[in-house]
């Protein structure tokens, strides 16, 4: 990723759009498929996933040794991509990118890309401060850019244009884009703008477009409390099912890939983050449950928060939380608007309403210390073992082929002798 960034004239790390074992960009026909070079929001998506994991575990060792080098490198990448624009009130802008709506091709100031970059810089500063890393100048610079990042907004129509120059008149988009601000990024701009962003972009989406982030519409509508619009979007998922095995197609009616895992993953997220209503915050889990019409219940099993596991079920009348005995660390549930918290132990039955689950980490008297050098040495050892295994496999195959060739030669000689016996009977000698 660092070599990729350097190759394109940027700092930090620029992660590939499609990759393999080497980590290099492997997108086919890169001159035609420009995602590998321009769909750079993938970098922020990676950092967002790392942030979600850290918020769910609070594993500072992992954050320090595994995640932070990536987060810092992506922050450096975005710092090399932004510049101030006097025409935008001297805010920071990002030019020449491809947004999630790939039909837009190359644009300036993709709303999703700019918001993702902002969130990356904010979390980079948060993580550095949490880990006590001595880079205060970098943190201040990251926060300055994040605080002054330009995001397109139409004040008159009260919605986010997808990018600079985007207009709704005659627009046709291939897949979810601005809707992703609300889910998964959880960047609300108020009820009016949030509602307009969903309704306006739904109306200009190609009905045979790509089923990539389209579950964001249903999940966001449910969060806004609009069950009718949420269910309408949720039911569109089933248009992408291909018989007889119910695998997802990329497009609803024709074209695209079959067994489209992105679409299947989005569909499943409807249950966890839509009807289950799960949101992962820096210091808590929030749930905004919505009973699924026509379904007896939705159950989220093995929800793992701070190392403690529990089960949460949403039905038409109740939220049921089940924990195996006393959780370690202990977790507490508080309905929104209430002040009293309840210890999650055994079975709890609560009304269907938003709630918060919080806990505190159990102090580890002797947390394992991982030396980065030994960590790298471990990777080297694994690589050596893989090479040795490959050599051993090759030798084994060679020996097997040699043995079989000897068997074949012996068999051929035996056939020759038998053929000679048939031509020259014993009586003729």
Instruction: Tell me which residues are annotated as active site.
Output: 102
Do residues 34 and 106 lie in contact, with contact meaning Cβ atoms separated by under 8 Å? yes
Structure tokens at 300: 């989220």
Residue 403 phi, psi (nearest 5): -65, -40
Residue 30: cis peptide before it, omega within 30 degrees of 0: no
Locus of tokens 């977790």: 331
Burial state string for 360-397 with b = 16 or more CB within 10 A and e = fewer than 16: eeeeeeeeeeeeeeeeeeeeeeeeeeeeeeeeeeeeee
Do residues 57 and 47 lie in contact, with contact meaning Cβ atoms separated by under 8 Å? no
Q: Which residues contact 168 (CB under 8 A, 6 or more apart)?
A: 157, 200, 204
Q: In what order do the strands lie in the sheet with 319-326?
A: 297-305, 308-315, 319-326, 345-350
Q: By CB neighbour count within 10 A (0-12 exposed, 13-18 middle, 19+ buried), where does 262 fall?
A: middle
The three-class DSSP label of residue 172 is: coil
What does the alpha-carbon distance between residue 359 and residue 334 come to, in Å, rounded to a whole number? 11
DSSP strand pairing (345-350 vs 278-280) = unpaired
What does the alpha-carbon distance between residue 267 and residue 248 come to, in Å, rounded to a whole number? 9
Q: Which residues contact 401 (CB under 8 A, 6 or more apart)?
A: none
Q: What angle do CA 99, 102, 107 make, to 5 degrees?
A: 45
């Amino acid at each position: 990723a660092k070599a990729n960034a350097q190759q394109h004239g940027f700092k930090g790390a620029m992660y590939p759009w499609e990759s393999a074992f080497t980590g290099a960009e492997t997108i086919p026909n890169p001159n035609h498929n420009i995602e590998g070079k321009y769909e750079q929001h993938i970098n922020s998506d990676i950092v967002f996933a790392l942030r979600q994991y850290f918020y769910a575990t609070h594993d500072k060792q992992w954050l320090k040794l595994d995640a932070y080098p990536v987060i810092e490198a992506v922050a450096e990448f975005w710092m090399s991509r932004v510049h101030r624009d006097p025409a935008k009130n001297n805010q920071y802008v990002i030019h020449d990118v491809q947004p999630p709506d790939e039909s837009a091709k190359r644009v300036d100031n993709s709303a999703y890309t700019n918001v993702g970059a902002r969130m990356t810089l904010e979390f980079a500063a948060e993580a550095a401060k949490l880990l006590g890393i001595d880079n205060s100048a970098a943190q201040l610079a990251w926060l300055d850019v994040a605080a002054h990042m330009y995001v397109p907004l139409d004040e008159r129509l009260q919605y986010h244009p997808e990018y600079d120059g985007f207009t709704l008149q005659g627009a046709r988009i291939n897949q979810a884009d601005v809707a992703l601000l609300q889910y998964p990024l959880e960047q609300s701009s108020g009820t009016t703008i949030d509602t307009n962003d969903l309704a306006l972009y739904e109306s200009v989406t190609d009905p045979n477009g790509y089923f990539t982030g389209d579950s964001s519409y249903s999940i966001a509508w449910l969060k806004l409390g609009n069950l009718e619009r949420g269910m309408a979007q949720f039911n569109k998922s089933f248009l992408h099912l291909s018989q007889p095995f119910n695998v997802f197609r990329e497009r609803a009616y024709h074209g695209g890939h079959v067994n489209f895992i992105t679409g299947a993953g989005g569909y499943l997220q409807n249950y966890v983050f839509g009807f289950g209503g799960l949101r992962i915050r820096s210091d808590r889990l929030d749930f905004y449950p919505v009973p699924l019409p026509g379904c007896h219940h939705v159950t989220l099993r093995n929800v793992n928060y701070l190392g403690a596991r529990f089960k949460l079920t949403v039905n038409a009348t109740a939220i049921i939380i089940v924990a195996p005995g006393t959780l370690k660390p202990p977790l507490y549930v508080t309905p929104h608007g209430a002040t009293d918290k309840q210890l999650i132990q055994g079975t709890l039955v609560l009304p269907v309403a938003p709630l918060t689950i919080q806990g505190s980490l159990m102090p580890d008297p002797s947390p394992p210390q991982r030396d980065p050098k030994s960590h790298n040495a471990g990777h080297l050892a694994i690589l050596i073992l893989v090479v040795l295994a490959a050599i051993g496999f090759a030798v084994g195959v060679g020996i097997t082929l040699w043995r079989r060739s000897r068997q074949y030669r012996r068999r051929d000689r035996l056939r020759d002798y038998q053929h000679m016996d048939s031509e020259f009977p014993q009586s003729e000698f």
